[in-house]
Each structure stands twice: as C-alpha cells, then as structure tokens.
Chains A and B, each alone.
Chain A
Amino acid sequence: MSDKKIVYATDRKYAESHEWAKPEGDLVVIGISDYAQDQLGDVVFVELPSVGATVSAGKTFGVVESVKAASDVYAPISGAVAEINESLKEHPETVNKDAFNAGWFIKVRPSNAGEMEKLFDAATYQGKIEAGEIH
C-alpha cells in the first residue's frame, strides 16, 4: 500500500515543527516537509498570509487542512512575505504530491540572517524523527 519512502531533501534546512526553508536569491522559500505531508494525509485546503505580512520565527503563519484536521504551520525564520503560492488555492493536493518543489507555501525576505543557522540540516532532522524526538 503506502510503502512510499519519506524524502529528506538535503539542499535546505528544517524546523522542528516540520517546515523547510531554502534560500533563493535574496528570499527564502518556505514549505512543509515530505514527512509532514505524509503525516497530514490528503491536504484539501491551505491558508496563507498576504503578501507584505510579517512572519516571525516559531510563530504560526498559515494553516493546512487535511480531511481529518487543521494543523498550524510555523515560520522557520522571520521576515516579510514577498510571494505566496497562489496555485495551492486551486490545487492543495500539490502539497502531497511535491512538498519540496511545486508545493512551496511562501517566499520571505528574511529580517534576521542568523536564524537560518539555527535550523536543522536534513540528516539531523531525519535523525530526530527516526529517534522519535520529534513527531
């Protein structure tokens, strides 16, 4: 059945709350991990902030609704929202299909460059999940 292998992309950083952050020019792209989408199950709705809104590291910036439940999404870093993934409005299932690329949530202009350093690399993130330290 669901023998799908969880992927931990190594080209980005992760927060304990399962969001990823990946620098792209002056901006940082934010989404949720493959592990997170797998745990949520079928995503049916994604609520995102408006462009221009401020997000703060560790604070919620959006909500993902699966059939079962609503889950908060936390900002891995602080900054101003420069872009949101409009296509998730019509196609929330993209989060399940391609959490690391087409399923990105927002792009942020970071206000504190040091925050990226506090996030986990892929191996550490994977290790913490497999050790049951975070779930």
Chain B
Amino acid sequence: MNLKRTPLYDTHVALGARLVEFGGWEMPVQYSGILDEHRAVRNAAGLFDIDHMGQIEVSGRDALAFVQHVLTSDLASLDLFQAKYAILCYADGTIVDDTFVYKLPGKTKSAPPQFMIVVNAGNREKDFAWLNAHRGKFKVELRDVSDQFYMLAFQGPLAESVLQKLESFDLSKIKYHHAREFNIGKERGILARTGYTGEDGFELFIPAPHGKHVWDAILEHGKDAGVKPIGLGARDSLRFEAKMVLYGHEIDAHTSPIEAGLSWACDLTKDFVGRDCLLKRKLEGVVKKLVGIEMVDRGTARQGYEIAKEGNPIGVITSGMFAPTFEKNLALGYVAPAMSALGTEFDVIVRGKPLKARVVKTPFYANRARGK
C-alpha cells in the first residue's frame, strides 16, 4: 500500500522524527520522545502536523438543513466562526465518524453561511461518500477541501503568547471553540481555539502553500518558550488523559454516542440520521458504558484486553497506557453498567494474567481549555 505523506514530510525527517503508518498516512509518531513531547505540551506548547485530517465544505441554500440532518449536534444555534463537536451516525445509531463543524461565511455576500466539517484522516473518503449518499433533495454542494488547507495544531499554556508574536489581532479575543479568519497575502486561513489535548491552544487551517512557512515560524518564535514539534504518540497520550475519544478505539461502527458518554453531543430534540435509535438506546438503557480505569496491580492495559470480574468477562479496554502526567497506568474501557460505578474493582487480563484495576473519575486530566 502506498502511504500518503504531508508536504512537511521532509521537515519531519530533518527534525529526527520516527515515522509510522496512521490512517493510510506516513506520519511522525515522535521526535524527542513521547514523554518529553507530552510534558512540553502540558507545560509550554507543542506544534502538531495534522494535515492528514480532512475538511469537507458544505455550501448552498440547504447547507444548514443538511448538516442538521446528518450530524448529531444542534448546529442551528452556531454563530459565524463558531465551532462545535458533532457526530455522524448510521441509521442504527452507531458511529460513522466524529467531527468538528465550523460555521463560516458564504463565498459571496448573498450566499448563505457554509459549514466546514473536519473529519478523521482514516475516514475521509468514507465520510465524503457517506455525506454524498445522504444528499437526497437537499440543495447543497459538497467539496473535499482538504488539500486547500494545511492543518496544524498548536497546543499548550504558552500557545497563545507565542502565536501572538506572529499575529497582529488580539488572540485573547478568540473564545473557546470560536475562530477567525487571517490572511497570508491574498489567501484566507482560519485560526480556531480548538484542540485535542486538554490544553488551551489553536488549530490552524493555513492556505496550503504556506504550511511549511507557518510551521517554521512557530517553532522559531517558540524556541525560547520551550515549544517542540509533537508526534502522534503524544497526541494520543494527551487526548487520552483528557478523555477525548478516538475513532477505532472508544468509538466505531459498533458503538453509539450514548454508551461512549457523548450524549452531550446529541440533540435528541431535533431530527437526524440515527436519532430514533439513539433515543431508544437512551430510554432502554445501554448494555455497556465507557469508564476510566486505574491499574491497581502493576501492568499496562492495552486496547482489546479483556476486563473480568471473578473470572467472567464484563468488558474490554479501548485505550490504555502509562499516563505521563500522572505517572500511572490508566485506561479507558467499556464495562457492563453494573460495573461502572466509581471505585468498582475488577481485573484486566494482561497477557493471560488477571491484574487488579478499579474505576476512577474521568477525565483523568481536567480540561484547562473548557470553560474559557
């Protein structure tokens, strides 16, 4: 299989990155080391190449009606340049993908607002095809604009002050989950206060030809502040500590947002694909629940490991690792609802051995960005 590479591939190699396959892409998994990079983001700031993520533009007269129809969140209340987490569900309530949706001005003054749906790298083609298949009578245009934007994330407590050196407008005015436009020459980019680390920070949609220039400028201006390039390894450990779900781990085509703890992202008072099944699941009760788990015995729980109580299987681990911020082995996993109360003890089967573990509060890392 031919792996796709982002235009910054050579830059990553020059920075000493180790590259791995992820969602059909060859991406940096680490530069200086996952622990070092993780701590850089928690204590200073880190820069991520996330150009593998996809962006799909929805425009046209029925743009709002269409996104309301296919996505779980209420998007009617969004202001221009506001962003919201939303899920694409199958009719049975399981998950096609999880996304971030931005409401943006239309191309012309008379055009209605349009939407940009940011999707996971590995689901890009699937999502686009799925959206197309659900167009029905909606008067909308769907375009995969992934190649027009270079997507970077810049995350951490010092991200704003470093980025401010490069931007004239006052970044503190951009509220959490809001965005604004910026220009490089005549080209338009979008700067959003969003992220996937549990820290304050930004995601940047840069006019594609300027991606490397912006990457270099941020690293250069952030050097003294301790800014580092961050690979997918620390991206995973950071999102994990903040209990941000990852497609293929906590969510997939066999899971619904209800059991994944994502009811907050589903407005069941509006009509959307999958809504009836979600409502039913909610009323009838779910058969499994996503919980935070701390290993009591020494050992690391990994995706796919069985969870058992007195020898009987009661669940499965979806993500697990040594959590760098806490220096503890933590995990996320699905368990039977009766086993989901805080403090409940059970075993995680690690390479055939039952190791003691217990349910703990999540997110492990309280999101600093939230409530901004």
Contact = CB atoms under 8 A, between A and B. Distances in A.
A-B complex is real: yes
Interface of A: 1-3, 39, 41-42, 44-45, 47, 63, 65-70
Contacts of B38: 67
Contact of A45 (B15, B35, B322): B322
B322 A2 contact: no
A1 B32 contact: yes
B351 interface: yes
Contacts, number: 51
Contact of A2 (B31, B236, B298): B31
Contacts of A39: 18
B15 A67 contact: no
Interface in B25-55: 29-36, 38
A45 B298 contact: yes
Nearest to B34: A67
B34 A42 contact: yes
A69 B302 contact: yes
B321 interface: yes
Contacts of A65: 300, 322
A1 B324 contact: no
Contact of A67 (B229, B233, B351): B233
B33 A68 contact: no
B237 A67 contact: yes
A2 to B, nearest CB: 4
Contacts of B302: 69-70
A69 B233 CA distance: 10
Most chain B CB within 10 A, of A1, A44, A66, is at A1
Nearest to A60: B351
B33 A41 contact: yes
Given A41-B33, A67-B34, A67-B237, A3 B16 contact: yes
Given A67-B322, A68-B236, 16 more contacts: A1-B16, A2-B16, A2-B31, A42-B36, A44-B300, A45-B298, A45-B299, A45-B329, A47-B299, A66-B34, A67-B35, A67-B233, A67-B324, A68-B29, A69-B302, A70-B302
Contact of A42 (B16, B35, B229): B35
Interface string B324-343: 10000100000000000000
Contacts of B351: 63, 70
A39 B20 CA distance: 11
A42 B233 CA distance: 11
Contacts of A69: 302
B31 A1 contact: yes
B298 A42 contact: no
A27 B321 CA distance: 35
Contacts of B298: 45
